[in-house]
Structure 1
C-alpha cells in the first residue's frame, strides 16, 4: 500500500549498464563432470617424477620430467585413448625438440643472436599453431621448452634434457593408455572413449528431436554438430591394428556411420520447424544405450511416416539398429578431414597464420630480449631465471585460450593468487617432502583447472614455484609476479600493434573455408549425386568448418573494442551460411524421398544465397535448381 503523504508516481525501470564482453569473458568457466580419471593421472605424474629424480640424484632431470607432465596434463582432455596419442604425443615431441634446440642455442650463442634465433622460432611455431588444437599445443610446448632450455642453467647436455622431458610426457601417455576409466570395463577396454563419443551423438540427435519447434532447437543443433565433431576425432585416432580391427572397433565405426543419416533427418526436421512426436526421440536414446553398454538395440518405437523427414528418420533408425547388431565396418573416408594437409598448409601460411606468427615472434623475441637485459640487474634479485618472461608471453599471446584482455586479466589474477598461496605454503611445508606433495596435488588439479584460465594459472604458478624450490633455488614468488605483469603489458602492446595484411584475417579466412565447404555441399546435393557417403562427408565438413568459424568469431567479439571492430559483420555471414547448410540438408532429405524440391526449399535457398551476395560472397545456385 502506498504511503498517504507520497503520491504514487510512474517510475521507469532502472537500467543497469551491460558488462563489456571483454570483461564478462574473464568470468566465464567451462562446465562438465569432474575429470576424476585425469586428476588421478595428474597425481601420479609430476610429483612421483620429481621424487624419482631426487632419489636417483638427478633432481634437474626430475624437474624437467615434471614440467613435461604438467604441460601434458593441460592437454589431457576427455576423449578416446587413441586420440590421446597425437594430442599428448605430438606436443611432447615438439617440447623435447624445443628443449634440445634451446639448450644448445643458449650455450653457443650470445644474447643478440640467441634473441634472433628465438624470434625466428616464434614465427614458425606461431604460424603452425593456426592449423588446429594439436598444432597449437605443439607450438606452445616448442617455445616454452626452447625458452627453458636457453635460460635454465644445468649440467646436463641438450639430449639428456630432451630425454628427461620425453620421459615425463611418456609416463603420462602410458597412464592414459593403461589406467581404466569409468565405463571402460563395459565391452572392449580400449574403446571406452570411442563408445562414449558415439553414444553422445545419438543422445544429441534425441535432444534435437525433443527441441524441434521450440526455443532451444538451434542450441541443440549446434550441440549435435559438436558431438559429431568429437566422435569423428575420437574414431580418427591411430588404429590399433593396421588392417581389420576387432568386432568392437567395427561396431563403433558402423555406429558412427549410421548416425550420419540420422543426424541429417533430425536436421531436416529442425529446418521444417514443426514439433515431432515425443516418441521420435526414444529410438536414438535406445541406440545410445546400446552403444554405451555394448548391448543389442532391442525393439524400437513404432514409426511415424507422415512426412519425408520423418520417413528418413525412421529409415535411419532401422539402418542404425541393423548396423550395430551386425557390427559391419564403416566407410573410413567419413572420419578424416577433406583436404586435411592442404587446409593445414593454408591455415599456416594464410592471413590468420601469418598474423598470429608475427605476433608470437614479436612477443617471444621481445620478451627474451627484455629478460636477458634484466638478467644481470638487481631487479631480478637472487632469482635470475630469465626464461620465465618469454615462457609467460607464449601462453598469453595464444588466441585459442580466449580473448586478449581476458587472457591478460586472468593471467595476472591467477599468478598473484598462486604466488601468494605458495609463499604461505613454502613457509609451513617441510622440505623436500612437502614440496613433492604440493607438486603432486597441483598435478591432480591441473585437469580440472583448465576450465578457467585464471584457475589454471594459479595452479601452474604454485606447481612451477614448488619445482624451482625443490631444485635448490630460493623462494621466487615476488619475481614471478613482476615478470608476469611485465609479460601482460608486453602482450597487450603487441596485441594492438598493426601488422601487415588485414586485421581479423584469421576469422575471415575461416569464413572463406566454411563458405567453400557449404558451396561444395550444395553443388553435390542439387547435382542429385547417388553417393550418400560423399554427401555425408561434405555435410560433416560444412558444419565443422562453420563451427570453427563461429568459435573464432566469438573469441574476436569478446576482444577490446579496438580489436573487435575488425571482425564486425562476420557473425551475420556465419548465420546465413548456417541457414544455407541447414536448407541444403533439408533439400537432400526431400530429394531422397520425392525426387524434387518444393517452392519453400527453393525460396529459402535463394534467400540465403541473396543475403550472402549482399555480403560480397558469391555462391551460385546450380542451373538445375
Structure 2
C-alpha cells in the first residue's frame, strides 16, 4: 500500500503524491529474473554483434516493467501480449522509416504516429494489459522509426520478441523463493493469492469494532480481486485441468461466505474475541501447505453474523478436507468486465485523443529540431501521458528528477574502463533493480534512463546523457500543456465512468438481495462486482484528487458518492446475512438503513461538481 511520509500530509495533494512510494518485501525472484534478462545482450556482445542485442534488451526491459507479483499463468498475458504488441510496433516503425526516408518529415511522421497514438490510447483504457499493449506498440513504433540499426526490420522485431520471451520463460520456469508445501510449484502464485484471502478475513475479524475495520474490509476486497485475477490465467479460465486446480478453485469459492460473514460482523461494529481469527488463519496455512486444515475452532452462535461465520467455516472445512473440489463458474468476472468496459468508453475517447495529440506534437517538435535522437521525445511523452502512472503533475516532476539523476549516474558509468562489458553489467544491474524501482516513478525513471543510455551506446551511437535530459524536459512541457488543454468533451470521464459502474453494481446487488434471497451464487457474484467496482472508483478518485487544482475540481463531490456507495454495499451485505439466519424479510433496522443509504446516494449524485 502507498504510505505517505509525515511531510507529505502537510503539502498540497498534487505535490504530496510525489513523495509517496509503495512498500513491501523485496521480490527477489523478480530481481533475479531482471538480472538474467541481460543474457541475450551478453551473448550478442560476446559474438561481437552488440547492436543485435539492443532490441532484445529493449524487449526484456519493457517486459520487466510489466513483471509484477501474481501467478505464473496470469503472467503469460501480462507479459506476452504487450511483447507481441511491441514487436508489431517495432516492425511498423521500421516500415514507416523506410517509407518516409532519412530526411525531416514535418507532416507524415507526426500524422501517422498521432493516429497510432489515438487508437492505442483509446484501447489502453480497457484494462491494465491493454494499457501495457498500447504503450509498448507506441514506444516500439517510435523507436523503430527513429533508432538506427544495421538489422532489418523483421529481424529487429523478432529479437525484441525474443528478449521479452526470455524474461517470460524465466518467469514460468524459475521456482518461487522460500516455497513451502508439496503442491505443484506452477500454482504457487495462485495458492498464495487464495491464502491471502483467508488471511485478510482473519485481519478483518480482528479489526471488527476498531478504527481499522474499514481498511480491513478494503484489504479483503483487494485480496479477493487479486485471487480472482490469479485464477483467470490460461486453462484456469473455465475448466480446471488437474485435481490441484479444482481444489484451489473450491478453496477460493469457500472464501466467499467467510468474506460475507466477516463483512457483516465488521459492519455491526462489535469487538470479537481473538480466538475467532484462528479458523481463517488455519485455512490460509492449509492452502499454502497443500494439506488438510483439521478441526477448526467454532465461534459462539449468538447472532446472525456469528452463525453465518460458523456455517462458512464448516463448509470450508468440508471443502479443504476433500481431495478435490468442483470448479465454480465465472459469472462474476464476466459481469464486472462487461459493465466496466461499457463505462470506460467515454474515458477511452478522451485519453486516446490526448495520447494522439501528445504523440503528434512531440514528433513534430522533434522533427523540427532535427537531431540524431529525435525519437526520444515522442517515446518519453508516451510514458508520461499514461494516467496509471500517477497524477499528471506528479509524474512530470518525477520524470524530470529521475532523468537528471539517471543521466548523472550514467556519466559516471562511461568513465569506467572495458566499455562493452561494463555496459552489459550496467544493464544487468538496472534490470535487477527495476522490479523494486517500479514502486516510485522517479526511481523507475532513473533506472530506465541509465539502462536506455547504455543500450544507445552499445548500439553504436555516441553518448548523449544531457541530450536525454533536454528531451525529457521537452516531453514534460509537452505533456503538461496537452494534459491541461480543454479538448472536446467534459473532463473527469474516468472518475464519472468508474462511479457509474460502482453505483450500477450496488443497485443490482441490493435488488438481488431483496428479491432473490435463495440464489447465493448470484449474490456472491454481484457482491464481488459491487466491491470491485467500488475499489476501481476509489482509485480513480484518489488519482484525480492529486492532480493540479484546475483538474482536481472537475471531480469534486466524487468522494461523497463513493462513501455512500460503500455504506450501501456494506449494509446490503449485513442484510443478506440476516436474511439467511433466519429472517424471512429484512429486519426493520436494516430496511431503514438501506432506504437511508439509497436516499443518501441519490443526494450525493445530485450535487454538481464545482
Q: Bin the TM-score by the shorter chain.
A: over 0.9
Tell me if 1:337 matches 2:328.
no
> For structure 1, which segment, 268-277 or 36-45, has the greater mean C-alpha deviation from structure 2 after superposition?
268-277
Counterpart of 1:78 in structure 2 is: 69
Superposition CA RMSD, Å: 1.8
CA distance in structure 1 between the aligned counterparts of 2:233 and 2:262, rounded to whole angstroms: 27
Change beyond 3 A, Cα 1:58–1:346: farther
Aligned residues: 594
Matches for 1:401-440 after TM superposition, within 5 Å: 401-440=389-428
CA distance in structure 1 between the aligned counterparts of 2:332 and 2:288, rounded to whole angstroms: 20
CA distance in structure 2 between the aligned counterparts of 1:332 and 1:170, rounded to whole angstroms: 31
Matches for 1:263-412 after TM superposition, within 5 Å: 263-326=259-322, 327-333=324-330, 336-338=333-335, 340=337, 343-344=340-341, 346-347=343-344, 350-375=345-370, 380=371, 384-412=372-400
Counterpart of 2:545 in structure 1 is: 557
Unmatched segments (≥5 aa) in structure 2 = 1-6
CA distance in structure 1 between the aligned counterparts of 2:516 and 2:464, rounded to whole angstroms: 67
One of 194, 199, 205 as aligned partner of 1:203: 199
Tell me if 1:614 matches 2:606.
no
CA distance in structure 2 between the aligned counterparts of 1:279 and 1:93, rounded to whole angstroms: 51
Matches for 1:246-261 after TM superposition, within 5 Å: 246-261=242-257
One of 17, 20, 42 as aligned partner of 1:25: 17
Contact map agreement 1:236 1:336 (CA 8 A) in 2: no
Counterpart of 1:3 in structure 2 is: none
Q: By how many angstroms is 1:113 displaced? A: 1.5
Q: By how many angstroms is 1:188 displaced? A: 0.8
Q: By how many angstroms is 1:97 displaced? A: 1.2
Tell me if 1:69 matches 2:63.
no
Contact map agreement 2:509 2:523 (CA 8 A) in 1: yes
One of 105, 108, 117 as aligned partner of 1:113: 108
Partner-residue secondary structure (3-state), 1:228: helix
Matches for 1:510-525 after TM superposition, within 5 Å: 510-525=498-513
Contact map agreement 2:332 2:526 (CA 8 A) in 1: no
Q: By how many angstroms is 1:467 displaced? A: 0.8
Counterpart of 1:597 in structure 2 is: 586
With the length of structure 1 as denominator, give the TM-score of the two structures: 0.92
Partner-residue secondary structure (3-state), 1:245: coil
Which structure 1 residue ranges, 4+ long, deviate > 4 Å from structure 2?
240-244
One of 167, 171, 180 as aligned partner of 1:172: 167
Change beyond 3 A, Cα 1:120–1:71: same
Partner-residue secondary structure (3-state), 1:304: coil
Matches for 1:33-182 after TM superposition, within 5 Å: 33-45=25-37, 47-109=38-100, 111=105, 112-182=107-177
CA distance in structure 2 between the aligned counterparts of 1:429 and 1:368, rounded to whole angstroms: 36
> For structure 1, which segment, 287-296 or 103-112, has the greater mean C-alpha deviation from structure 2 after superposition?
103-112
Q: By how many angstroms is 1:429 displaced? A: 3.9
Change beyond 3 A, Cα 1:539–1:339: closer
Partner-residue secondary structure (3-state), 2:154: helix
Q: By how many angstroms is 1:182 displaced? A: 2.1
